[in-house]
């Protein structure tokens, strides 16, 4: 059994989407995750929907962690939201900078996730276990991999308890990142983020945006399967299963699945891992 398993959802924006998400969660409950998490739209665009989705999961007595990004919110707005989550019995937060909402261009103030981690600690003490993001292949805005590591270190020094990585398909990037963290004395658990592969075009788009590299051999094989969704999913599941096996065998403390609100792609990988 995987020690520390978690599943990430995004908040649905229709009644049908909410029902579908409930079914997805129902299926994934069988894998006994340590927690579910719910994303927070760029610039706070899903603030209420994220809260409602988190409340629905908490109402079923399931552990859930809201994502919270600093965006352009003032500290007072963020403190109020933290209080509402604490009142709901939430004890884990995924603290992020967030991305610039489309249309805002450069009007956004330059702020970083470390500021949010500091705010959570100063306002809520130890009420929340704080997760932060980590980037084994370096964040696309980082001036250099070393600078990115310095900034990750700053989030941990500000009070983060553990980290979830951006997805990647090269296990060596993860192991190298963890080694570099340990060499600097960063000793928090770093859980790999896992993206199941089900759609070539979407994967390429996401990966270009977030700086995740799709190795050439995987990209070419996926491309050759792109008109046959079944064989693409089968190949993608094999690739991601092998990645997870290598990560767990190499000491990864758990797995965090980017489910995109679908159960089956994560289930396929987890069932393979259990064989
Ligand atoms: P930071 O840690 O602040 O880093 C952002 C960039 O700034 C990096 O390039 C870093 O090197 C640089 N940097 C940091 N500090 C400094 C400094 N002091 N000076 C100069 N440069 C600095 N986005 C959402 O909008 N909603 C979500 O729910 C969401 N969930 C996510 C969950 C996970 C597990 C991950 C990995 C990402 C998620 N994202 C989400 C995406 C994330 O918001 C983006 O990747 C964003 O661009 C960076 O967020 P961060 O928290 O890593 O930022």
Residues 266, 256 contacting (CB under 8 angstroms): no
Residues whose CB is less than 8 angstroms from the CB of residue 255 and which lie 6 or more positions away in sequence, other chains included: 2, 4, 5, 6, 191, 192, 194, 244, 247, 248
**Cα–Cα distance between 153 and 158 in angstroms, integer?**
9
pLDDT tens digits for range 178-225: 999 999 999 999 999 999 999 999 999 999 999 999 999 999 999 999
Q: How many angstroms does the Cα of residue 62 sit away from the middle of ligand 1?
A: 27
pLDDT at res. 4: 96
DSSP state of 193: E
Give me the count of residues in the chain. 275
Q: How many angstroms does the Cα of residue 65 sit away from the middle of ligand 1?
A: 17
Q: How many angstroms does the Cα of residue 260 sit away from the middle of ligand 1?
A: 19
Q: How many angstroms does the Cα of residue 195 sit away from the middle of ligand 1?
A: 18
Mean pLDDT of 236-260: 98
**Cα–Cα distance between 140 and 145 in angstroms, integer?**
10
> Which residue puts its alpha carbon closest to atom 28 of ligand 1?
39
Closest atom of ligand 1 relative to the 154 alpha carbon: 15
pLDDT at res. 249: 97
**Cα–Cα distance between 12 and 191 in angstroms, integer?**
25
Number of domains within the chain: 1
Tell me how far CA of residue 135 lies from CA of 1, 76, 174, 198, 264, in angstroms.
Answer: 26, 29, 9, 22, 26
Torsion over CA: 41, 45, 47, 49 (sign): negative
| CATH assignment of the domain containing 178 | 3.20.20.220
Q: How many angstroms does the Cα of residue 232 sit away from the middle of ligand 1?
A: 30
Pocket of ligand 1 (CB under 6 A): 39-40, 42, 67, 69, 94, 96-99, 112-114, 133, 139, 141-142, 147-148, 151, 155, 164, 166, 193
Residues 6, 34 contacting (CB under 8 angstroms): yes
Phi, psi of 193 (to 5 degrees): -85, 130
pLDDT at res. 50: 96
Residue 70, domain extent: 5-274
> Which residue puts its alpha carbon closest to atom 14 of ligand 1?
151
**List of E strands, 135-210:** 162-167, 190-194
pLDDT exceeds 70 at position 102: no
Q: How confident is the model at residue 68 (pLDDT cuts 50, 70, 90)?
A: very high
pLDDT at res. 99: 83
Mean pLDDT of 98-108: 60
Best CA proximity match to 171, nearest among 138, 141, 194: 194
> Which residue puts its alpha carbon closest to atom 8 of ligand 1?
142
DSSP-derived 3-state class of residue 206: helix
Q: Is 230 an annotated catalytic residue?
A: no
Closest atom of ligand 1 relative to the 141 alpha carbon: 9
pLDDT tens digits for range 36-59: 999 998 878 899 999 999 999 999
Buried b (16+ CB within 10 A) or exposed e, 233-246: bebbbebbbebbee
Closest atom of ligand 1 relative to the 50 alpha carbon: 28
pTM recorded for the entire structure: 0.97
């Amino acid at each position: 059994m995987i020690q520390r398993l978690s599943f990430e959802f995004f908040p649905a924006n229709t009644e049908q989407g909410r029902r579908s998400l409930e079914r997805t969660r129902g299926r994934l409950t069988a894998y006994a995750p340590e927690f579910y998490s719910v994303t927070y739209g760029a610039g706070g665009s899903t603030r209420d929907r994220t809260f409602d989705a988190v409340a629905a999961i908490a109402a079923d007595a399931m552990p859930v962690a809201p994502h919270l990004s600093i965006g352009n919110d003032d500290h007072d707005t963020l403190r109020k939201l933290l209080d509402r989550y604490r009142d709901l019995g939430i004890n884990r937060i995924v603290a992020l900078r967030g991305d610039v909402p489309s249309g805002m261009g450069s009007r956004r103030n330059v702020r970083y996730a470390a500021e949010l981690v500091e705010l959570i600690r100063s306002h809520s003490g130890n009420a929340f276990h704080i997760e932060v993001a980590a980037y084994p292949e370096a964040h696309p805005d980082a001036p250099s991999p070393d600078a990115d590591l310095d900034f990750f270190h700053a989030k941990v020094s500000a009070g983060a308890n553990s980290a979830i990585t951006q997805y990647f398909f090269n296990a060596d990037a993860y192991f190298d990142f963890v080694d570099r963290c340990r060499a600097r004395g960063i000793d928090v658990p770093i859980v790999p983020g896992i993206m199941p592969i089900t759609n070539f075009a979407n994967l390429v788009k996401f990966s270009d945006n977030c700086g995740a590299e799709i190795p050439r051999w995987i990209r070419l094989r996926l491309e050759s399967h792109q008109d046959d969704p079944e064989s693409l999913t089968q190949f993608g599941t094999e690739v991601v299963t092998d990645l997870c096996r290598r990560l767990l065998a190499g000491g990864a403390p758990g797995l965090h699945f980017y489910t995109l609100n679908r159960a089956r792609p994560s289930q396929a990988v987890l069932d393979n891992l259990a064989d």
